[in-house]
Structure 1
């Protein structure tokens, strides 16, 4: 089924929508792991907090994660050491491991049963050609302070050429943890508003956040934790690359549990973990096949991922499949801190690079400390105001060249379908109607739904993801439902409907 196991096994939330103006010490925009952890940390510190979420809390990217809670992020330590220095790598390791321990301690203190399991983490390669990178990562991670070692044996049911193994990592049920955190947040006096999309921000003193229904919230400070910043006066969109990734999951015998969390950069990424499942089984969760939104072939890629799972884990059949999305910064370190140099009132958390569980918890710790006047030692490493021309120039140029190619080229490209009649049930395509580009979808009943094809973020032309029945922007990753509603930012406004009558 096309659903997340985390979403299926937890109750739906029903926090109210904001129905009038409000005041707070801090407004947190976004109800994923970064937003909820920030709001909870601030509430525990005595701040009056209002959290607004455009849909339902812990139901966006966080509800569709793999939920590996690890400080080992593929091959990040050698890269951070080379780009930022050994001390930065140490701070990265310390902050990420602190996040792992924070989940363990908070869930124990609040009595949240979130299936937390302590396991080792591995980054492995099957080809000997990748061993130099593995050895370099072992050295860098060890020097950074992690309990890292080189191994050639793992619990995986296939041989590896070598792997980094780091002890004392974890896996958990992210929604169970975050719903428990939200309940405690409200118990402490925090307020949560769902189905409340923030569409405007005045970062004066005080700050004012406005919503799509015209209500406003005034506060001393604002935290933007919307995955991709929906307000971007710092121009972070030029330094963030969106990436979509697929997930398949199926039950396996408990005896087949490989006993850890695993990832390889090979084969367009393969990530493996398990979770407790019914009847004494384990749920095997396999992630990979990443692509830029609007440019992948999800149906084919899901099948490749499912085939890999069946081949490597003795015929395991897919019981769940879903997709997730994250953004990677141009220097591969998240942006967490003041939104831009000219403000001490607006903060941001983004660019987690596929490691949103530890980085989201870390964001909560770091932002709450900054807002309450305590600087953690890791703050400068994650500062969004850092600029590393040498580190970022090449990646930024490639990223912006790709965006420019879509922005200009997709407008000049001939229609993807000659006419609306060429679009079959369940299909979608860009069609030129009366000289304008329309995003046209025909549903299973044969009814046609037409929208403007221009993304409401910065105007790139969307493409249709048939496997997920959604329109996607290939420039910055915004996603829209077939009725135009925003599924994923940075866009905050829906795709306008197009009237095809008389065209």
Structure 2
């Protein structure tokens, strides 16, 4: 298939962008402020608005467009092999609490969509965690047992309705797939109708805790609020050093129309085999259905990785080999953060915080996690904590199960911080950077530079030091972005922040500076 047949963009973000909300242009005083306009942020703002509080939601770009706009939009309490993992690391009671909170999130979305009349392509269906290798069925049996013990009506099955051979699966009925932007744009409209405020293109760059707390945007305007929720996917204000316990991972997604007359079974399907494979279908404007396939986890910005382009190719090839006549028409990538014990961090921003809260670390399940966290945080703020608040408390640390993973993450970040500053590239000068490619140049002038040559041949130069903690970014040619391998910040070729935890753009550099002496990494 020719590359020109593909659209670089998710199915969800191509939907009508909806009303454009204003930027924050003056100082305001509110009861509560929420930073971040994705699933977690909009749900938190909605739940707080329902209590009668005056709430401002502040988003750096457009609401429901970032991470939430690039998911595969599966809402399920069955999440891979989460229950056997949580039972091993946190115990049976925690697994039960996790199951109850996640299933409650699925049901809450269904009720909201029905009660508010949100047309979001909601479809109830079965969720499957499957394997194709018979040697892996023991893990499936363990997960089915753990999910049932946690209170879910899960079943072990050896008949999986996929168009290719499988060995076994866990099946859970009554789960949901939907159009996340249609849901969130509708919920945002209800939020405003009930008195909430939404500000887009207003990046928050500073948080001063107190009573009230004070947020400051890059334009210098402030929001004073009694309570603040940081729902920026990766916390841009990390007073509890959660970045030491979060691992960013990126996955690629391909989609295309199912051939006329073909049938793909109803259901949401996931396996950890082949570096993760996830499949679901979605309606296509009344013209059949689209197949959506996700997989190929990798660390953003890792220069030793095979690269996003190779990941897209591998996933497309895998899908075409299993679904006859499947053609990829759309491709995009999604990013999420994984905690050291497989349970998100939702609660107080740090142990001494009374009025600042955080939601992060959803591990690929940010839709159910975002709904859950919105309800949990609203309960903490209003003095009615949920039964599972302790489960998600960010300050938790379990030495026997978490410390090895924590040390591994810190060793990995330290390796990038030091090792990526050492020479060892595949080019000699800026002349070796071809159109569409990028490289980090080890110049003597203003430090390492991130240089991209666009299709016209023009060069774009910015500092290669991530503005979060100073790690060196690397180029993702498939998505034309600079990415930090330490904590997952992403930037445009001119340095603009695309994804945090960074809140400041890459520094501009002088185009005439001496930075052509050594090229370390290029797309």
**TM-score where L is the length of structure 1:** 0.98
Query: Which residue, out of 168, 174, 177, partners 2:180?
Result: 174
Offset from partner CA, 1:131-160 (integer Å, 9 cap, x none): 111000000000111110011112210121
CA 1:9–1:502 in structure 2 vs 1: closer, same or farther (change >3 Å)? closer
Query: Which residue, out of 453, 474, 480, partners 1:469?
Result: 480
Counterpart CA distance in 2 for 1:348 and 1:307 is 39
Question: Number of paired residues?
Answer: 503
Counterpart CA distance in 1 for 2:427 and 2:202 is 36
1:502 Cα deviation (Å)?
4.9
Partner of 1:403: 413
1:416 Cα deviation (Å)?
5.2
Contact 1:154/1:258 (8 A) holds in 2: no
Query: Which residue, out of 272, 291, 294, partners 2:298?
Result: 291
Partner of 2:193: 187
Is it true that 1:369 corresponds to 2:379 in the alignment? yes
1:206 Cα deviation (Å)?
1.0
Query: Which residue, out of 260, 278, 297, partners 2:267?
Result: 260
Partner of 1:317: 327
Counterpart CA distance in 2 for 1:148 and 1:140 is 9
Q: Secondary structure at the match of 1:418?
A: coil
Counterpart CA distance in 2 for 1:343 and 1:117 is 40
1:6-405 equivalences under 5 Å are 6-252=12-258, 253=260, 256-295=263-302, 296=305, 297-405=307-415
Offset from partner CA, 1:271-292 (integer Å, 9 cap, x none): 0011111354111000000100
CA 1:323–1:464 in structure 2 vs 1: closer, same or farther (change >3 Å)? same
- Structure 1 consecutive aligned stretches of length 4 or more whose deviation exceeds 6 Å: none
Counterpart CA distance in 1 for 2:52 and 2:332 is 38
Q: RMSD over aligned Cα, in angstroms? A: 1.1
Contact 1:254/1:282 (8 A) holds in 2: no
Structure 1 segments unaligned to the other structure (5+ residues): none
Contact 2:257/2:327 (8 A) holds in 1: yes
1:439 Cα deviation (Å)?
0.4
Q: Secondary structure at the match of 2:486?
A: coil
Partner of 2:4: none
1:254 Cα deviation (Å)?
7.1
1:372-451 equivalences under 5 Å are 372-415=382-425, 417-434=427-444, 436-451=447-462
Q: Secondary structure at the match of 2:31?
A: strand
Shifted more, 484-493 versus 275-284: the winner is: 275-284
Offset from partner CA, 1:375-417 (integer Å, 9 cap, x none): 1101000010111111111111111111000000111234553
1:326 Cα deviation (Å)?
0.4
**TM-score where L is the length of structure 2:** 0.95
Contact 2:118/2:186 (8 A) holds in 1: yes
Contact 1:153/1:159 (8 A) holds in 2: no
Shifted more, 151-160 versus 137-146: the winner is: 151-160
Q: Secondary structure at the match of 1:6?
A: coil
Counterpart CA distance in 2 for 1:8 and 1:449 is 28
1:433 Cα deviation (Å)?
2.0
Contact 1:417/1:430 (8 A) holds in 2: no
CA 1:416–1:486 in structure 2 vs 1: closer, same or farther (change >3 Å)? farther
Q: Secondary structure at the match of 2:420?
A: helix
Contact 1:465/1:472 (8 A) holds in 2: yes
Counterpart CA distance in 2 for 1:213 and 1:19 is 8
Counterpart CA distance in 1 for 2:273 and 2:336 is 19
